[in-house]
């Protein structure tokens, strides 16, 4: 028997890194204000680590749009695999050519393109889709904040988030 409602448990789990960051920061402040000395200096390090963890946690929480969607996503050594009820496939993170978000699908889909492979469409709420955050943030030149803004912005048309080699004129912006 659980004493926490499922909705509250889901919310706590979504924001877990932020909560841990706040806890680490509070521990650091208690060491700074308490005994002082060497523990006070370590407290400042803990405060900085807590702030960094909270900032990263906010980004990760914004990326998590839910669970229970169709299919399963796994990331293993740079290989993204999606197994869905109707489609599926694999792409290598190092070989990605383009990443797009298609909000016109229900639910919204990540669209991953790799040369020589079929385009892979992954629902944003598929089980394990939160692992894609680390893969996407490691793409060279990807702006994480812009990706999160598009994910939570409710655009009316597909948006290219990242391209390895731009296919547009140099004067045209990506977003």
Q: What is the pLDDT of residues 45-70, one digit of tens each?
A: 999 999 999 999 998 888 877 777 78
175 in a structural domain: no
Q: Most distant CA pair in the chain: distance in Å? A: 62
What 3-state DSSP class applies to 77? coil
Residue 172 confidence (pLDDT):
59
Range of the domain at 75: 69-163
Total domain count for the chain? 2
Task: State the DSSP H helix or E strand holding residue 29, giving kind and residue range, or none if neither.
Answer: helix 16-33
Residue 84 confidence (pLDDT):
87
**Is there a single domain that holds both residue 53 and residue 75?**
no
Burial class (CB in 10 A: 0-12, 13-18, 19+), 115: exposed
Final residue of a domain: which of 63, 84, 109?
63
**Is there a single domain that holds both residue 155 and residue 77?**
yes
**Is there a single domain that holds both residue 105 and residue 146?**
yes
Binned average pLDDT, 10 residues per bin, the chain of 175 residues:
79 88 95 85 94 92 78 90 89 91 87 90 89 89 85 81 74 58
**Is there a single domain that holds both residue 158 and residue 77?**
yes
Confirm if 82 and 73 have CB atoms less than 8 A apart: yes
**Is there a single domain that holds both residue 83 and residue 151?**
yes
41 in a structural domain: yes
108 in a structural domain: yes
What 3-state DSSP class applies to 16? helix
């Amino acid at each position: 028997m659980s004493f926490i409602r499922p909705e509250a448990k889901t919310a706590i789990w979504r924001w877990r890194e932020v909560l841990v960051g706040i806890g680490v920061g509070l521990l650091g402040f208690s060491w700074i204000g308490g005994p002082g000395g060497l523990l006070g200096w370590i407290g400042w390090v803990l405060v900085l680590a807590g702030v960094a963890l909270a900032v990263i946690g906010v980004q990760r929480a914004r990326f998590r749009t839910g669970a229970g969607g169709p299919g399963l996503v796994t990331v293993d050594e740079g290989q993204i695999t999606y197994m869905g009820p109707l489609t599926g496939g694999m792409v290598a993170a190092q070989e990605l050519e383009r990443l797009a978000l298609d909000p016109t699908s229900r639910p919204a889909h990540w669209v991953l393109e790799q040369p020589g492979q079929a385009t892979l469409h992954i629902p944003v709420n598929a089980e394990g889709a939160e692992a894609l955050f680390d893969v996407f943030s490691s793409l060279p030149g990807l702006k994480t904040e812009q990706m999160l803004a598009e994910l939570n912005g409710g655009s009316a048309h597909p948006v290219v988030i990242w391209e390895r080699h731009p296919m547009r004129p140099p004067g045209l912006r990506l977003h």
